[in-house]
Amino acid sequence: MPKRQFAFEEGGPKRVEVEKPVFRSETVVRLDGRELGRLRGAKEHKAGAEWTLEDGSVLSVKLVANAISRELHVLRNGRPLPGSASDPVRLVRQGAYVLYLVAAFTALFALYPLVVRSDEPDSLATAVGMLVEAGLFGVLGLFTLRRTVWAPALGTALYAGEGLYDLVQSLSTGGRPGNIIVRLLFTIILVRAFQSALTLKREAAVEPPVTASLG
């Protein structure tokens, strides 16, 4: 992440700039072009830093390691800035894109039984089954993008369950299980999308209702 800019709220001006040169263990944090401070070395990145802004809000930057990456979390008053690494909207969107990708590859592989094994009687049934599966993952991706909670939950269960079944089948037949790393990576992304969808649902539940002005 050489340089990224963030707004305080969705659609607002990008006032916060976080610059992390590729070959330097240093992160520079700026607000409206003015430097707030720097994080140097692994210890400072892990501990993080906070700055109290003129409006009384607190901006914090911290390096957080998770199961798949090391991320810089940029928060204001404890809430991730839109588009930052821990932004729940961004994580839900990533989960939706994974489900779309799984749907696309499943649909593509559905052609294999028809092209390679077209003379086998079950080839059409296999292809139809895979196309139905691809359609299901596509629908789950759509509803995940709409920030429903059940869609990423069901998508995670189906995708992880399918991977576990393939693993057991491969081990029982003496074969080599394939794409374990990819499946694990995608499963983690889907789990984070589910957790983020829950977070967005909770936040929406505590937001004060918008009342119409009586003028």
Same domain, 50 and 138: no
Instruction: Name which of 200, 178, 194 is nearest 98 in CA terms.
Output: 194
Beginning with the edge strand found earlier in the chain, give each strand of the sheet holding 49-52 in spatial order.
49-52, 58-65, 70-76, 79-80
Query: Is the distance from CB of 27 to CB of 44 less than 8 angstroms?
Result: no
Same domain, 42 and 52: yes
Pull the structure tokens for residue 1.
């992440």
Where a domain ends, among 39, 63, 86?
A: 86
* Residue at 215 is within a domain: no
Residue 214's pLDDT band, with cuts at 50, 70 and 90, is: very low
Provide the domain limits for residue 146: 88-201
Residue 166: how many CA atoms within 13 Å on its side-chain side? 13
Same domain, 16 and 96: no
Rounded-to-10 torsion of CA 88, 15, 2, 69: -20
Helix (H/G/I), strand (E/B), else coil: 154:
helix
Range 23-47 burial, b when 16+ CB lie within 10 A, else e = eeeebbbbeeeeebeebeeeebbee
Pull the structure tokens for residue 150.
């059940």
Where a domain ends, among 69, 86, 103?
A: 86
| Residue 191 buriedness (CB in 10 A; 0-12 / 13-18 / 19+) | middle
Predicted structure pTM score: 0.85
pLDDT digits (tens, 9 = 90+) for 66-125: 777 789 999 999 999 999 999 999 999 999 999 999 999 999 988 876 676 656 667 778
pLDDT digits (tens, 9 = 90+) for 23-50: 678 999 999 999 999 999 989 999 999 9
Pull the structure tokens for residue 14.
């990008």
Same domain, 121 and 33: no
